[in-house]
Amino acid sequence: MWPVNPRGCWTLFVRESHRFMKVKMQTIVAPALTAVLYLMVFHYAMGERSVPGLSVPYFDFLIPGLVMMSMLQNAFANTSSSIIVGKVMNVHIYLLMAPLSAIEAIAAFLAAAVLRALIVAAVLLAVLAPFSSLGFQHIGLILFYGVCGSILMGGFGIIGGMWSKKFDDMALISNFLIMPLTFLSGVFYSVKQLPPLWQQINAFNPFFYLIDGFRYGFIGVGDTNPMTAIWVVLTATIVCMVACWYLWLIGWKLKE
């Protein structure tokens, strides 16, 4: 179904894009600085080592993981912060009253989240790539996992923002769910280094497939088959988008 109010959808997308661009020191520059600090710390901690089981330089392994982690966190933050701020300030009702269908509103929010994630990724790669011999072996996989990951996390942000009643609720989701899942998804290490039990547990972490597939696009090796993981990621993304559309359609937690 195509949007019946494309101008309204575009206007909401522009608003969401301008919102994070106005504070680009926080939304774009800060993630780049954080990634550089990670790189410096691991440079002195790991030296010139290779990743066990993959035989690639650790920096080449680490940088795609840092980029994808930043993309996921920023996509989540973009949608969740917009909705929770609207609820706290009690202005979200105006968005519900706007002549926008559920699919138009969700499309605008997710498009802005993807834009922010891609900008952050471009900045991080520009800053971090000179420190490694990173290549672009499978650009299609890089774009697929990057965009799907951003949509998935943007969708989680929408659902989290709708569920939360205050900033503490959103901090609970971010600190005790999103952050652990991203840090434990193989950003800093290969899951092949884990005991067999933890490898099986990690197989249920959707962020693991996103980061591993994204990394495979750069260095051509990974812990899983990225072609198989495509179906897992694509299914999760579609389910999340449908869930966001339905919850927005019924006004879940927004009309209370």
**Domain assignment present for 210:** yes
Number of H helices, E strands in the chain: 12, 0
Q: Three-state SS for 240?
A: helix
Is 64 in a helix, a strand, or coil?
helix
Residue 1 lies in a domain: no
Query: Quick check: is 255 in a domain?
Result: no
Give the span between the Cα atoms of 31 and 24, in whole angstroms: 10
Q: Would residue 203 count as lying in a domain?
A: yes
Q: How many domains does the chain have?
A: 1
pTM for this model (two decimals): 0.91
Confidence band for 59, pLDDT divided at 50, 70 and 90: confident
What are 172-201's pLDDT values in tens digits?
898 888 888 888 888 888 888 878 887 888
Query: Domain of 115?
Result: 6-250
pLDDT band at 1 (very low <50, low <70, confident <90, very high): very low
Copy the structure tokens of residue 180: 């652990």
148 lies in a domain? Answer: yes
Asked if residue 134 is part of any domain, the answer here is yes
Non-local (6+) Cβ contacts of 48 within 8 A are: 57, 58
Q: Is the pLDDT of residue 209 over 90?
A: yes
> Does residue 120 form part of some domain?
yes
Confirm if 30 and 129 have CB atoms less than 8 A apart: no
- Reference 74, options 129, 19, 37, 127; nearest CA is 19
Domain-located, residue 176: yes
